[in-house]
Structure 1
Amino acid sequence: MEPRYPTMSSKTLLHLDSSILGGHSVSRQVSAAIVARLAAADPSLNVVYRDLAADPLPHATPASMPADHPLSGGKGDAASQQALDDFLAADIVVVGAPMYNFSIPTQLRAWIDRILVPGKTFAYRADGAVTGLAAGKRVIVALARGGNYADPAFAAVAEHAETYLRWVFGFVGIEPEFIVADGIAAGRREAALEGALRSAGELKAA
Structure 2
Amino acid sequence: MNVLVVKANNRPADQAISSKMYETFMENFTGVEPVVYDLFAEDTPYFGQQYMEVFGKLATGGVLNEEEQRLMAAKQKAMDVISAADLIVFAFPLWNLSIPAKLQTFIDYIYQSGFTFKYNEQGQQVSLMNDKKVILLNARGGIYSTPEGAGLEMAVNYMRNVVTGVFGMQIVDEVIIEGHNAMPAQAADLIAAGLEKVKEVAIRHSKALVTQ
Q: If the length of structure 2 is used for normalisation, what is the TM-score?
A: 0.80
**Secondary structure of 1:73's aligned partner:** helix
Distance 1:103 1:78, change over 3 A: same
Q: Which residue, 63, 73, 77 being the options, matches 2:58?
A: 73
List runs of 5+ in structure 1 lacking aligned partners: 1-10
Q: Which moved more, 1:84-93 or 1:74-83?
A: 74-83
1:138 maps to: 133
How many residue pairs get matched?
Answer: 188
Letter in 2 for 1:16: V
Per-residue deviation, 1:61 = 2.6
Query: Matches of residues 39-58 of structure 1 in structure 2 within 5 Å?
Result: 39-40=29-30, 43=31, 45-58=32-45
Distance 1:72 1:32, change over 3 A: farther
Percent identity, aligned pairs only, is 28
Q: Distance in 2 between matches of 1:48 and 1:86?
A: 8
Q: Distance in 1 between matches of 2:79 and 2:48?
A: 15
Distance 1:184 1:71, change over 3 A: farther
Per-residue deviation, 1:50 = 1.7
Q: Distance in 1 between matches of 2:78 and 2:141?
A: 28
User: Higher relative CO (CA 8 A, sep ≥ 6), structure 1 or 2?
Assistant: 2
Q: Distance in 1 between matches of 2:161 and 2:129?
A: 14
Higher helix proportion: 2
Q: Distance in 2 between matches of 1:63 and 1:182?
A: 37
Q: Distance in 2 between matches of 1:198 and 1:159?
A: 24
**Secondary structure of 2:25's aligned partner:** helix
List runs of 5+ in structure 2 lacking aligned partners: 65-70
**Secondary structure of 2:34's aligned partner:** strand
Q: Which residue, 182, 187, 191 being the options, matches 2:178?
A: 182
Residues 30 and 193, structure 1, Cα contact 8 Å, conserved in 2: no
Q: Distance in 1 between matches of 2:80 and 2:113?
A: 14
Residues 98 and 104, structure 1, Cα contact 8 Å, conserved in 2: yes
Q: If the length of structure 1 is used for normalisation, what is the TM-score?
A: 0.82
